């Protein structure tokens, strides 16, 4: 019985932390949606640019609500010794765990096709929309400036493009190392600026171990939560029998 009480207490405390974390995320999401200008000022100009391109309030509110639901189910289920709530908590964790495993399997299965898929999307976009579509132009300009890269593969992505025809054959400034002067094809050949895909791939490889470690840690916590939940559930079965 002493072990059961200890596990029950740990289950309550663990899920209370989950609930509070979800509440914090929910509050932040509401704050960003109501007073996003102040939030962006706190983060600074670079972070503000990233926040504006992603619907951060939606993600914060959605994830916060899910965490609050999980924390409430687990905490109440353990405190009240409710088999129904414990079973619901176990089901939610199991669904999330299966979804994460499925996403990982799909990512591994299609990782070899990532370059082909991205190239099929990025190259036509640079040829047709860069320079004419403000959103596409701003995204690519920010990417090329930040990573010091040119196009998806290299400067050839812009040769014969709408942008090149409108600018009299000039390429984006990021494709050349020269400052001020127009970036021509001959100068871009001498500059040999790498394509953005190689830069992004290098960044992903550098952080792959960190991402994998975090994912593994989350998976272990989810498995531990399911084991503890089932322990409490089965112990309640023994108490009622």
**Tens of pLDDT, residues 13-25:** 888 887 887 788 7
The answer to whether residues 231 and 120 belong to one domain is: yes
CATH label of the domain that carries residue 121: 1.10.1450.10
- Report the number of distinct structural domains present in the chain: 2
The answer to whether residues 109 and 126 belong to one domain is: yes
Nearest to residue 17, comparing CAs of 62, 57, 74? 74
The answer to whether residues 204 and 119 belong to one domain is: yes
pLDDT for the residue numbered 42: 42
Distances (CA, A) of 5 to 1, 58, 80, 81: 6, 38, 12, 11
What is the Cα–Cα distance from 129 to 136, expressed in whole angstroms?
7
pLDDT for the residue numbered 239: 59
What is the Cα–Cα distance from 88 to 73, expressed in whole angstroms?
7
Lowest mean pLDDT among 44-58, 138-152, 173-187, 211-225: 44-58
Write down which residue in 55, 80, 105 finishes a domain.
80
Q: How do residues 20-43 score in pLDDT, each as one tens digit?
A: 877 887 887 777 677 555 444 444
Mean pLDDT computed over 194-212: 75
Cβ atoms of 72 and 19 closer than 8 Å: yes
The answer to whether residues 41 and 95 belong to one domain is: no
Distances (CA, A) of 125 to 163, 193, 217, 236: 11, 20, 38, 59
pLDDT for the residue numbered 35: 59
Confidence bin at 55 (pLDDT 50/70/90): low
What is the Cα–Cα distance from 3 to 79, expressed in whole angstroms?
15
Q: Residue 117 corresponds to which tokens in the numbers above? A: 């898929």
pLDDT for the residue numbered 52: 44
The answer to whether residues 69 and 151 belong to one domain is: no
Write down which residue in 63, 80, 97 finishes a domain.
80
The answer to whether residues 11 and 74 belong to one domain is: yes
The widest CA-to-CA distance across the chain, in whole angstroms, is 84
Q: Show Cβ contacts of residue 96 under 8 Å, excluding neighbours closer than 6 positions.
A: 222
The answer to whether residues 43 and 107 belong to one domain is: no
**Torsion angle, alpha carbons of 104, 106, 111, 112, to 10:** 140
Confidence bin at 80 (pLDDT 50/70/90): confident
Higher per-residue confidence, 113 vs 177 = 177
Percentage with pLDDT > 70 across the chain:
79
pLDDT for the residue numbered 53: 40
Write down which residue in 28, 54, 80 finishes a domain.
80
Q: Which domain does 68 fall in, by range? A: 1-80
The answer to whether residues 106 and 34 belong to one domain is: no
What is the Cα–Cα distance from 109 to 204, expressed in whole angstroms?
17
pLDDT for the residue numbered 67: 81
Question: Among the residues of 111-195, which ranges form H helices?
Answer: 114-128, 134-147, 162-166, 185-191
The answer to whether residues 129 and 221 belong to one domain is: yes
The answer to whether residues 164 and 198 belong to one domain is: yes
The answer to whether residues 241 and 123 belong to one domain is: yes
The answer to whether residues 60 and 139 belong to one domain is: no
């Amino acid at each position: 019985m002493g072990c059961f009480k200890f596990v029950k207490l740990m289950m309550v405390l663990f899920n209370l932390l989950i609930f509070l974390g979800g509440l914090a995320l929910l509050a932040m999401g509401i704050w960003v949606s109501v007073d996003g200008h102040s939030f962006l000022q706190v983060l600074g100009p670079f972070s503000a640019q990233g926040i504006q391109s992603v619907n951060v309030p939606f993600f914060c509110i959605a994830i916060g609500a899910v965490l609050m639901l999980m924390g409430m189910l687990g905490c109440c289920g353990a405190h009240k010794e409710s088999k129904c709530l414990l079973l619901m908590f176990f089901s939610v964790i199991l669904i999330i765990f299966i979804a994460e495993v499925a996403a990982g399997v799909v990512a591994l299965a299609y990782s070899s096709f990532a370059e082909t898929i991205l190239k099929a999307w990025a190259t036509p976009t640079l040829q047709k929309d860069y320079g004419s579509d403000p959103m596409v132009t701003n995204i690519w300009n920010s990417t090329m400036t930040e990573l010091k890269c040119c196009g998806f593969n290299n400067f050839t992505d812009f040769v014969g493009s709408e942008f090149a025809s409108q600018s009299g054959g000039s390429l984006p400034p990021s494709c050349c190392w020269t400052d001020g002067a127009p970036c021509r094809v001959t100068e871009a050949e001498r500059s040999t600026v790498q394509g953005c895909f190689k830069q992004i791939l290098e960044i992903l490889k550098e952080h792959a171990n960190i991402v994998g470690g975090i994912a593994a840690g989350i998976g272990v916590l989810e498995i531990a939560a399911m084991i503890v939940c089932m322990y409490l559930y089965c112990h309640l079965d023994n108490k009622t029998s």
